[in-house]
Structure 1
Amino acid sequence: MSTDHRIDALSPGTFSLDGQEVEFGPGDTLLQAARRAGHYIPHLCWHPDFPAHGSCRLCTVKVNGRSGAACTIAASSGQEVESDTPELNAQRKTLLQMLFVEGNHFCPSCEKSGNCLLQATAYQMGMDGPHFEEFYPNRRVDASHPDLLLDLNRCILCGLCVRASAQEGKHVFAMGGRGVASHLLVNSDSGQLADSSLSATDHAANICPVGAILPKRRGFVIPIGQRRFDSHPVAQEDEP
């Protein structure tokens, strides 16, 4: 990166997003500036509390014709950014379909339905079926904790719980394995959540965007129809 680009990234300015001018501030990424201006770029692993991770790739955009993750690219004056295009949305839809078949995401029976970012994003992208053959993986369900349930069948490996727990200084979670064998690890001698330092009030216990980490004895406290994405689509969502 040239010196001029480094200076530009630390200075306010504007870039073009799908033909509309978007203002950005010092240190902003494309995703941060777009969200602040009310523009929706699909994402799963990004959260305003943490540095960008760039793992889900749903926020992939084209900047001056080159592809990159909007959550990691520094905003710079004069950028021509494309996001809401048939090509990019088709890629996002395919990624979502792959996520659904790589886990057991049965939305009608999931307590997270209506509050699930994966489900809401699939609706936004027009996904009406899994398309690919489902894997039906047999992943661990850990009900050992007195207050929390960990269902790895629903984990999308976004890493948010890992980052949240690290920020809290507990380091309860980590990622292990590679490719289709990638999975969430619990940092305890037994590998069980009950033997970890995770508390139900921890940020790491409440940040999961899907139904992988759920509180016990609170199922359907908020009825279906009155949940986060029941009243408005994810594209109209404010920052979490």
Structure 2
Amino acid sequence: MTQTFMLDGLAIPFEEGQTIMEAAIAAGHYIPHLCYHPDFTPYGSCKLCNVEVNGKICAACTFPAREGQTVVSESLERNSDRQRITQMLFVEGNHFCPSCEKSGNCQLQGVAYHLKMTDDHFNHQFPHREIDASHPDILIDFNRCIFCALCVRASQEEDGKDVFAISGRGINKRLIINSDSGQLRDSELTVNDRATHICPTGAIVIKHTAYQVPIGDRQYDHQSISEVSMEQDGNVS
């Protein structure tokens, strides 16, 4: 007998061991997220996928699906919280979409559109963060890092290199590079590594590729992030 839980009034089938996020994606239902990727260990850092499970707030990417659960995702309260989280991500870093080469391909921007975010609400913190352009093929703009740890997990779990780590807490949190100098040029990262391509923002970019696809022809220019997510997360290798 198929096990199910209720998500926003719909019965969602699931297999033993699946999380709420995995079951929702398999059934074609989008739950906003940034740090989740089906290829890597769930991290639960961005909190965008928080849902209400039998009255308690839980991260859909880490919380197991169970028979008889009542899960609320698409509610005014949940999406209001997600919008505030997204606004905080924008002001805690330096995200300037009109001048960013990732505009139109950025998941943070895509989520903001999905949540109908029209302003930043909070005061910008304008942190002073460096740009590491030392690598011949790859650039890191730490101003755009949202600490999703996708590059950390991709480097460890797929590339087998452990190039990245996240250090510190709160305002002192930062992405660090595992090399003697602390610079990308002295790390093991290559342009073909999964960690180079997994960043949901413009923090990690490949040099000499900016604006090759014109604005207006980019991924989220024609499809919403919910549509793209269902295509990509639902069809992983």
Using structure 1 for the length normalisation, give the TM-score: 0.94
Q: Deviations over 1:4-56 (max 9, x none)?
A: xxxxxxx9511100001111122111001111111110000000101211111
| 8 Å CA contact retained: 1:41, 1:83 | yes
Question: 2:11 pairs with 15, 21, 27, which one?
Answer: 21
| 8 Å CA contact retained: 2:41, 2:153 | no
Aligned counterparts of 1:235 and 1:165: Cα–Cα separation in 2: 26
* Residue 239 (1) aligns with residue 229 (2): no
| 8 Å CA contact retained: 1:199, 1:205 | yes
The residue type equivalent to 1:217 in the other structure is H
The residue aligned with 2:103 is 113
Question: 1:154 pairs with 127, 144, 149, which one?
Answer: 144
> After the TM superposition, which residues 209-228 of structure 1 pair with which residues of structure 2 at under 5 Å, given as runs?
209-228=200-219
Aligned counterparts of 1:103 and 1:70: Cα–Cα separation in 2: 25
Ranges in structure 1 where 5+ consecutive residues have no aligned partner: 1-10
* Residue 96 (1) aligns with residue 86 (2): yes
List structure 1 segments (4+ residues) > 3 angstroms apart after TM superposition. Answer: none
The residue aligned with 2:40 is 50
Aligned counterparts of 2:48 and 2:232: Cα–Cα separation in 1: 17
* Residue 143 (1) aligns with residue 133 (2): yes
| 8 Å CA contact retained: 1:48, 1:239 | no
Root-mean-square deviation (CA, aligned residues, Å) is: 1.0
> After the TM superposition, which residues 118-137 of structure 1 pair with which residues of structure 2 at under 5 Å, given as runs?
118-137=108-127
Moved more, 195-204 or 25-34: 25-34
Q: How many residues align?
A: 230
Q: Deviations over 1:68-91 (max 9, x none)?
A: 000011111111000000001000
The residue aligned with 1:175 is 166
Which secondary structure does the structure 1 equivalent of 2:78 belong to?
helix
| 8 Å CA contact retained: 2:189, 2:196 | yes
The residue aligned with 1:31 is 21
| 8 Å CA contact retained: 1:150, 1:214 | yes
| 8 Å CA contact retained: 1:186, 1:192 | yes
| 8 Å CA contact retained: 2:147, 2:175 | yes
Aligned counterparts of 2:166 and 2:21: Cα–Cα separation in 1: 25
Using structure 2 for the length normalisation, give the TM-score: 0.95
Q: Deviations over 1:148-187 (max 9, x none)?
A: 0000000000000000111121100001111111000000
